[in-house]
Amino acid sequence: MTAATAPGTAVTAPAGPGTAVSVAAAPGPVVSVPVSGSVWRQQVGIADVRAAAERLAPVGVLTPLQHSPRLSERTGATVYLKREDLQVVRSYKIRGAYNFIAGLSAESLAAGVVCASAGNHGQGVAWSCRHLGVRGAVFLPRRTPRQKVARIRSLAGELVEVRFAGDSFDDANAAAAAYAAERGATVVPTFDHPATVAGQGTIALEVLEQLGRAPDVMTVPIGGGGLASGIAVALDGLGAPTEVVGAQPAGAPAMMRSLEAGHRVTIDIEDPFVDGAVVRTPGALTFDVVRELVPRLVAVAEGRVCTELLDLYQIDGIVAEPAGALALAALDDVAAEIVGRTVVCILSGGNNDVARYDEIIERSLVHEGLKHYFVIGFPQRPGALRRFLDECLGPTDDIVLFEYIKKNDREFGPALVGIELATRTDLEPLLARIAASGLDVQRLPPDSPMARLLV
């Protein structure tokens, strides 16, 4: 098993059949991965994407392409957002799910369908089943946000059964496969099927028509790779010179690790926060497409995703989910290359549970260097806390957590203290004052097990 990727790590893969994929994994050497022929071209192409667009046209999946003044000003690029969060199921997943199900034979439709999902694909399948009058089942990991579960049930009515299996998408996928074998139902692939890829690729057709030309860069979230593959296939088939940048969560970079290895690998999930883009193993078809057509992948820190989620909500008035903000948060990783260029970010989904915002705020503060945790050994005598407040805290420093248990048989008692700063530059003066105080203080690094437990 392999570990998570350090935020900011880049994987670059020049396009072209038979060329080598150059993988820059920081820190570490550059690895040259040979690319075999374009077998995927025999499975999916621009004709399939256009056929999917025709199949989807009557159900109204067209979403706006909106200019983002905030991101344009921040990056020096002209940035547009493709608002897939405005779909009826609040994510792009409806495209691939409907294209797949609507293309099944009457016999297969009568036997029903089944899928595994982290939430959004299940909504796409549920809506498609209801629209087409097809019975189905959706298997979800137990960690699926309640909001997504409720949405699936409301979209499907009585036609689709919701079941839970395991803690990861892969667990749910195995359960869905077993259900299909037992019932004769057709599995609706989340990402690794030509019809799913073609359905997601219709986004690229819309972007080029709405923009009037091909953008210079498109940033796309990657979990299993269906969305990135579909967009890349469409752009390639149209001969568009657009550079596709894939964004993966740093805590679940399955596609990046697979590119480094030169073949698909299964990873351990270090951080499942960006649930809509968390898979342990990328698809076979999608891996081949990404390896050839997506020239760069970046690992985005979950804390940075949280900061972008808050900016979207507080400044732009947009409710996005973590995976939905992933491609926008990735702009920092390509900032130097996009100045003066036209960039389209796929805002892939808006299924966020409001109960998660406390965690989102916490993660953002820690990532921005505004919140820090310490374990302090306080002398068990009157005035010890007052001394800490007077000698260590600055005028704008704020204690937001204080947990202390008095030990009657010890001279010192440990306290867990959380401090929020006004600006990140206040940290060094705070650490200097703490050092000068002579108190026994241990700072908890943000990536330590204790700090992660608190977040």
Q: What is the DSSP string of 63-129?
A: --EEE-HHHHHHHSSEEEEEEGGGSTTSBTHHHHHHHHHHTS-HHHHHH-EEEE-SSHHHHHHHHHH
Give yes or no for residue 300 having a pLDDT over 80: yes
Which residues are 23's β-sheet partners? 31
Question: What is the pLDDT at residue 33?
Answer: 36
Same domain, residue pair 183 and 262: no
Question: What is the pLDDT at residue 31?
Answer: 28
Question: What is the pLDDT at residue 14?
Answer: 39
Residue 104 CA neighbour count, 13 Å, CB half: 26
Same domain, residue pair 232 and 318: yes
Percent of the chain at pLDDT exceeding 70? 90
Which of 334, 362, 390 corresponds to the end of one domain?
362
Same domain, residue pair 272 and 399: no
Give yes or no for residue 4 having a pLDDT over 60: no
Give yes or no for residue 435 having a pLDDT over 80: yes
Give yes or no for residue 82 having a pLDDT over 80: yes
Residue 406 banded pLDDT, cuts 50, 70, 90: low
State the average pLDDT for the chain: 88
User: Of the candidates 122, 212, 222, 101, which has an alpha carbon nearest to the alpha carbon of residue 173?
Assistant: 122
Tens digits of residue pLDDT in 10-26: 554 433 333 333 333 33
Q: What are the Cα distances from residue 277, in Å, to 105, 136, 145, 224?
A: 30, 23, 14, 7
Same domain, residue pair 205 and 311: yes
Residue 210 banded pLDDT, cuts 50, 70, 90: very high
Question: What is the pLDDT at residue 32?
Answer: 31
Question: What is the pLDDT at residue 119?
Answer: 81
Give yes or no for residue 344 having a pLDDT over 80: yes
**Known catalytic residue at 72:** no
Does residue 435 or residue 45 have the better pLDDT? Answer: 45
Tell me the CATH number at 120.
3.40.50.1100
**Cβ neighbourhood burial of 376 (10 Å; 0-12, 13-18, 19+):** buried
Which of 135, 154, 187 corresponds to the end of one domain?
187
Residue 349 banded pLDDT, cuts 50, 70, 90: very high
Is residue 38 one of the residues assigned to a domain?
Answer: no
Tokens 């948060």: give the residue. Answer: 329
Residue 168 banded pLDDT, cuts 50, 70, 90: confident
Contact assessment for residue 190 and residue 115, using Cβ atoms and an 8 Å cutoff: yes
Is residue 34 one of the residues assigned to a domain?
Answer: no
Give yes or no for residue 287 having a pLDDT over 80: yes
Which of 162, 187, 212 corresponds to the end of one domain?
187
Catalytic option among 93, 148, 168, 371: 93
Question: What is the pLDDT at residue 8?
Answer: 52
Question: Which domain range does residue 430 map to?
Answer: 369-454
Is residue 152 one of the residues assigned to a domain?
Answer: yes
Amino acid in position 76: G
Same domain, residue pair 267 and 336: yes
Same domain, residue pair 246 and 318: yes
Is residue 23 one of the residues assigned to a domain?
Answer: no
Amino acid in position 270: E
Q: Which structure tokens are listed for 368?
A: 């921005």
Contacts of 4 (CB under 8 A, 6+ apart): 250, 251, 252, 253, 267, 270, 271, 299
Tens digits of residue pLDDT in 306-333: 999 999 999 999 999 999 999 999 999 9
Catalytic option among 91, 229, 258, 348: 348
**Known catalytic residue at 93:** yes
